[in-house]
Amino acid sequence: MPAFIITQEVSNQYTEIAQQFGTPTYIYHENLLNTNLKTLSGLFKDLPVKWLYAMKANDNPHLLKRVAAQGFGFDTVSFEEALLGSHFVVPEKIFYTENNMTDGEMMAAIKAGIRLNIGSFTRLKKFAEANPNSTCSIRIKPDIGDGHHSKVVTGNKDSKFGIRIDQIEESVQVAAKFGVKITGIHMHIGSGIKEPKNLLNAIDKMLSIASQLPDLKSINFGGGLPIPYLPADKPFDVQEFEAITAPKLKSFLETHPNVEFWFEPGRYIMGNAGVLLSRVNTKKDQGNKVYLGTDTGFNHLVRPVMYDSYHHIVNVSNWQATTVEKFEVAGNICESGDIFASDREIAPTEEGDLVAFMDAGAYGMTMASAYNRRALPAEVLIKEDGSVQQIRVRETAEQMLDELFSKTAYK
């Protein structure tokens, strides 16, 4: 179930936002973001647990600032993300999990003093050579994967990510040749974990391999904490997760007292804090199906098309309706696959109504593109005190073209 329901107050505020800033617009709720951050940082209180935010979920600087203010570091997966993170936290709080990185990216990260998490044996060798007498972390392939869709399962045996468990010893030796100590191990089994048992088993596995690493200081268990998208989905019970995991960590600390534990969720922090607000501009009866055509598309929210993901859709203008009708909710991209929802029950909807795609705070804006040469959505933050701040302006058509001509050096 989405984190909140539309009330008269929310409907009024969204309507004003649409009037003032236009649509489509991503709207974020600071109170929900802060609640999510506090929920997580309140866990494992008496244990050396650190929280990183996986900024790929949403990297609007105004949101990153708020995440950093709650004491979170950043999980990053490119030099660009790591550099962005360094505007908000010290380099030690940035964890850069590389994936097929180039030598240039590696050297830049080393120079910036960012913690590198290395995911292949050959890259580890290159790192040790380039940066002797240093430290790094390695990403392990735990051979346990999970995720809301096959495209986001990462820890499975055949995954492209991570170093094989049977290569750990050799990794330690290769690094040691250059005086490099492997002080961290990392895993990330996938995103939107469906079966928490898989996460728990992978945690056990990481704890059991730790003895192979004499210099270990941190174990990073990755992200993947799911959120409810469908009305029938149950929220991931973080307290239960803590209750099961804390004793494992405590007993591990008895033999490894200097080790820290890290988690790096993205979706759990941003997902329910954001919605994509759009206006229905075309209603069309195609015989068997009634289409609601919106002013956005998979260029702005790709999850339904890419992963068949469900986003709850609410008619903000007719939120009080007590009946529903079935609609195809379509985007404005010139592809027949640009459908947000099929046979979806929504309040009776007419042209001009505002609809909100719920739980779109994570992997919404960061995955948006300019396909069909359309501008990105605007972004707006509703602050805890109820005031509204625009945190990204919408580009005009002229600005889009200026940028195109300038980047293509077209005169």
Q: Is 81 in the site for ligand LLP (CB under 6 A)?
A: no
Cβ closest to ligand LLP, residue 308 vs residue 385: 308
CB of 95 to ligand LLP, least distance (A): 9
**Whole-angstrom distance, CA of residue 216 vs CA of residue 207:** 11
CA distance 151 to 159: 10
Give the phi and the psi of residue 69 in degrees, each rounded to 5.
-65, -25
Tokens of 45: 């209180």
Residue 141 found at the interface with ligand LLP (CB under 6 A): no
DSSP sequence for 247-316: HHHHHHHHH-TT-EEEE--SHHHHGGGEEEEEEEEEEEE-SS-EEEEES--TTT--HHHHH-----EEES
Q: 223 or 293: whose CB is closer to ligand LLP? A: 223
Residues numbered 281 to 340 that lie near ligand LLP (CB under 6 A) are 303, 307
184 touches ligand LLP by CB under 6 A: no
**Do the beta carbons of residue 131 and residue 107 sit within 8 Å?**
no
Contact 11, 39 (CB under 8 A): no
CA distances from 75 to 56, 136, 155, 280, 382 (A): 8, 15, 17, 37, 25
Tell me the angle at which helices 61-69 and 30-41 cross, rounded to the nearest 10 degrees.
40
Q: Which of 158, 322, 334, 385 is catalytic?
A: 334
Would you count residue 355 as binding ligand LLP (CB under 6 A)?
A: no
88 vs 363, which CB is nearer to ligand LLP? 363
Q: Identify which of residues 131 and 191 has a Cβ nearer to ligand LLP in the complex.
A: 191
Q: How many residues bind ligand LLP (CB under 6 A)?
A: 23
- Residues 362-381 as x/- pattern, contact with ligand LLP by CB under 6 A: xx------------------
Bridge partners (DSSP) of residue 380 are 27, 390
Which one among 93, 123, 267, 344 touches ligand LLP, defined by CB under 6 A?
267
Cβ proximity to ligand LLP, 36 vs 191, nearer residue: 191
Q: Give yes or no for residue 85 binding ligand LLP (CB under 6 A).
A: no
| Shortest Å distance, C-beta 41 to ligand LLP | 15
Q: Two tokens at 374?
A: 């359309």
**In terms of CB distance, is 222 or 274 closer to ligand LLP?**
222
Q: Which stretch binds ligand LLP (CB under 6 A): 220-228, 350-358, 378-386, 399-407?
A: 220-228
Site for ligand LLP in 86-125 (CB under 6 A): 97
334 included as an active-site residue: yes
Residue from 191, 245, 272, 332 touching ligand LLP (CB under 6 A): that is 191
Question: β-strands 354-357, 274-285: how paired?
Answer: antiparallel
Query: Among 184, 265, 293, 304, which residue interacts with ligand LLP (rule: CB under 6 A)?
Result: 265
| Interface residue with ligand LLP, options 59, 146, 264, 338 (CB under 6 A) | 264
Is residue 225 involved in binding ligand LLP (CB under 6 A)?
yes
Nearest residue to the partner ligand LLP, using Cβ: 223
- In the complex, the smallest distance separating the C-beta of residue 156 from ligand LLP, rounded to whole angstroms, is 14
C-alpha span between 6 and 17 (Å, rounded):
15
Residue 291 or 307 with smaller CB distance to ligand LLP: 307
CA dihedral 341, 53, 91, 128 (to 10 degrees): -80
Q: Which stretch binds ligand LLP (CB under 6 A): 223-231, 233-241, 246-254, 351-359?
A: 223-231
In the complex with ligand LLP, the residue whose CB is nearer, 14 or 268, is: 268
- Residue among 185, 239, 213, 217 at smallest CA distance from 48: 217
Helix (H) or strand (E) holding 340: strand 339-346
Distance CA 138, CA 125 (A): 12
Joined together, the tokens standing for residue 324 give 């529903």
CA–CA distance, 266 with 190 (Å, rounded to integer)? 12
Near ligand LLP by CB under 6 A: residue from 162, 222, 304, 377: 222
Question: Rule CB under 6 A: which residues touch ligand LLP?
Answer: 54, 56-57, 75, 77, 97, 152, 188, 191-192, 222-225, 264-268, 303, 307, 362-363
Catalytic center residues: 334
